[in-house]
Amino acid sequence: MQDEPVFDEASLSADPLDLLRQWMADVVRADLPEPSAMVLATTSADLRPRARMVLLKSFGAEGFTFYTNRTSRKGSDLAEVPRACLLFPWYPMQRQVIIEGPVTALTTEQSEPYFHSRARGSQLGAWASRQSSVLGSRAELDDRYAELSKRWPEGHEVPMPDFWGGYRLTAQTIEFWQGRVNRLHDRFRYARVGASWSVSRLSP
């Protein structure tokens, strides 16, 4: 039988971000698709839980950053209840990471550099899609995109929409989960305590 991965107290970092960087590097080396894809779970004002996949664009001591249409369901949820949960589901490696905390919207100035780093088609797509709104047909979306392509032809800068931007989740807890046989998994949860972190082993 193949040896199980070692994941115990001795292998933990004092800073969970260091451990997350190690696990991210493992995912990249394993050549898994979309290593930065994560489930973003939000709650609406009437306490309806909702989840969807988004892409993590950066993370560090300041938080975890992603971008979206602010008029989408996730955008309205975050405006009403500015807290969220992020989940990285790395199934082939039998690993998952769960991050929880408050979310703040980035300013226009903070969001624009990333918007302009995107492919031109993605920039136009951000304008064309009023995310989560009802469409009469696919043609409606395609026609809107074609019209925007004429408004800002190749070589012209596409401005960032005022309804689009970034969000940053400040981690209060980060949980690392490593699968083991007999469902006796290893789980460690880091919890923010002032400027440092406490670590607890959780029962699987």
- Residues with a known catalytic role: 183
103 conformational bin, left if phi > 0, alpha if psi -120 to 50, beta if neither: beta
Angle (CA) 80-58-120 rounded to 5° is 90
Instruction: Please give the radius of gyration of the chain, using alpha carbons only, rounded to the nearest integer.
Output: 20
User: What are the Cα distances from residue 154, in Å, to 111, 150, 158, 176, 204?
Assistant: 22, 9, 9, 45, 54
The pair of structure tokens assigned to 32 is 């898994």
